[in-house]
Chains A and B, each alone.
Chain A
Amino acid sequence: MCDVAVVKKIANCLGVAPGKVQLNDEQVVTRTIGQNKTVQGFATILESLARESKSEAAQNSTSTKEVKAQVYQWLEFAVLYVAPGSKDKYVSKQLLADFNKLFISKSYLVGNFITLADLAVYYAIYDLMKSLSPVDKENYLNLSRWFDHLQQRPEVHQGEPLLNFTTIYLHGWATGTHI
């Protein structure tokens, strides 16, 4: 999913009009609302969306200074590293392993609630998750749990068919590779 598509998805998710979202000459994503109000850069755009939104995820993302700072870091990471990296065979493996490890002890990326960070990483990693075979998913059960949790929210899946994680119930007899 390209940056432009992700911004539109997230705007939808937050219940905010995306305005005109496009890439400028330097391939940087921009958002224009009204006549000449343009914001530039993925993380900055998402923050502007969050400010306009009353949704749970948007409010959580700005609950404290620390949360705000951590969310910002994940937004940068999602656009600069996750999205491009998930197209590379080796980097993507590492990404999956790292996220899986992170979700052993956490339910969400920042704090203990859904934030923009989850949404940005979710859409950045979506195509990669979609490409995984059931057996692959067996290796990333913690990541799968987080992903499945998000995709079940109607505002997140936005009508797309849900990825199938039911095979994770096989881990009962598949040997313990999940941690």
Chain B
Amino acid sequence: MATGTLYTYPENFRAYKALIAAQYSGAKVKVADNFKFGETNKSAEFLKKFPSGKVPAFETADGKYLSESNAIAYYVANEQLRGGKCPFVQAQVQQWVSFADNEIVPASCAWVFPLLGILPQQKNSTAKQDALVVLELLNKKLLDVTYLAGERISLADIVVFSSLLHLYEYVLEPSVRSAFGNLNRWFVTILNQPQVQAVVKDFKICEKALVFDPKKYAEFQAKTGGKQQQQPKQKEEKKPKEKKEAKKDEPAEELDAADEALALEPKSKDPFDAMPKGTFNFDDFKRVYSNEAEEKSIPYFFEKFDPENYSIWFGEYKYNDELQKVFMSCNLITGMFQRLDKMRKQAFASVCLFGEDNNSTISGVWVWRGQDLAFTLSPDWQVDYEVYDWKKLDPKSEETKKLVTQYFSWAGADKNGRKFNQGKIFK
């Protein structure tokens, strides 16, 4: 009987396939202790065993290595789960395993991930409709059959079930799932098998669908350091043909797919072009700011600033209560700067973090061309601005002078007395 260690992070639906299969077969599958996603699976030791660096991954007791969740589930399963003795039923199991990977998972990720904040929300996305088509197909099938392959629970049921978990947890609220009565019946049947309950604990079927929350996305960006934002550039260099062929059947690739969509969009013109060009030259100021001390660069700013055609803003992060680690907050700021890349030419900002771990605030002083909130000019820029409160500052007031001086020189404290900790310059 199969025995070994499964590497995964908790509640990974892909890992569930193997863990449920093991409940049926009695295979001894131990989940690795102390697994840290992004760390353990990127270590040299792990990559030597599993070159893809992906999880779930399985190490047998006698030192053999398997990756790919479906293969692992097959290995730890028993004859019944693999489809029994009949080659046709075995083939049906394969059919549904492929269906889950190629149809369900991409549709589910495209719908659910933006709502979880791990992918940007795309305009005119057909993700929901695409998923509903897949669900309807399953629903039709399950009118006539109790299980997907043969008359026993098999890997077909386990894999399809696991691949549907995100949908049933986050978006299939009662009014949506009521259209899929047969699928619901089957889902509840599988969910309530003791072998499944032993793995998928406390699962609650969706009461109210998640809605997109820009804050969550910003937080995710903070944690990942806005990593995927840097990808479109590399992608653009590839030939368009390759882009279209890219598959999108897993989160990592999903991210790429989202980026591709962005990259394929016709390059928008610089939104600032529509505004009158004043006398304030950002490049000159930025050069002075970078090379000279603040005693020089701040007076230079006020001397050259053109209030007719430019404006100064104060932006305060709305969810300071939820800021935890300082480095995460800094990533939050850097991520935002990356997303606002195209604004750089016509804007400057100093954004500061005050306080320490678990007690900090983010705020900044921004300068840009035009008199209105610049973020509405381009859809790319709207991800972050909703998570800040924006206040336009009067360029002539003393108060503004003080704020600008404080923020440009990275000093002082926030309004509740938290000391300056770190600053980031958008230039």
Residue positions of A touching B, CB distance < 8 A: 104-108, 111-113, 141-142, 144-146, 148-149, 152-153, 165, 168-169, 171-172, 178-179
Contact = CB atoms under 8 A, between A and B. Distances in A.
28 contacts: A104-B181, A104-B182, A104-B185, A105-B181, A105-B184, A106-B189, A107-B146, A111-B192, A112-B189, A112-B192, A112-B193, A113-B193, A141-B144, A142-B143, A145-B145, A146-B146, A148-B144, A148-B145, A149-B145, A149-B146, A149-B147, A152-B151, A153-B151, A168-B143, A169-B144, A171-B143, A172-B140, A179-B181
B186 interface: yes
B188 interface: yes
Contacts of A144: 144
Contacts of A145: 143-146
Contacts of B189: 106-108, 112
Contacts of A148: 144-145
Most-contacted residue by chain B among A112, A145, A169 (CB, 10 A): A112
A149 B151 contact: yes
Contacts of B192: 111-112
Contacts of A152: 151
A178 B145 CA distance: 14
A105 B189 CA distance: 9
Contacts of A142: 143
Nearest to A168: B144
Interface of B: 140, 143-147, 151, 181-182, 184-186, 188-189, 192-193
Given A146-B146, A169-B144, 20 more contacts: A104-B181, A104-B182, A107-B185, A107-B186, A107-B189, A112-B188, A112-B189, A112-B193, A113-B193, A141-B143, A142-B143, A145-B143, A145-B144, A145-B145, A148-B144, A149-B146, A149-B147, A149-B151, A168-B144, A172-B140
B interface: dominant SS: helix
A106 B184 CA distance: 9
B160 to A, nearest CB: 15
A105 B185 contact: yes
A104 B143 CA distance: 9
Contacts of A108: 189
A145 to B, nearest CB: 5
Contacts of B147: 149
A112 B185 CA distance: 10
B328 to A, nearest CB: 43
A106 B190 CA distance: 11
A36 B423 CA distance: 92
Nearest to B142: A145
A20 B317 CA distance: 82
Contacts of A113: 193
A152 B140 CA distance: 20
A115 B294 CA distance: 81
Contacts of A171: 143
A59 B189 CA distance: 18
Closest 7 CB pairs of A and B: A149-B146, A112-B192, A107-B189, A152-B151, A112-B189, A105-B185, A107-B146
Contacts of B193: 112-113
Contacts of A111: 192
Nearest to B145: A145
Contacts of A112: 188-189, 192-193
B185 A106 contact: yes
Contacts of A141: 143-144
A109 B143 CA distance: 16
Contacts of B151: 149, 152-153
A113 B190 CA distance: 9
Most-contacted residue by chain B among A111, A149, A171 (CB, 10 A): A149
A113 B194 CA distance: 10
A142 B144 CA distance: 7
Nearest to B143: A141
A37 B189 CA distance: 39
A34 to B, nearest CB: 35
Nearest to B184: A105
B161 to A, nearest CB: 13
A119 B326 CA distance: 63
A58 to B, nearest CB: 16
Contacts of A172: 140
A151 to B, nearest CB: 9
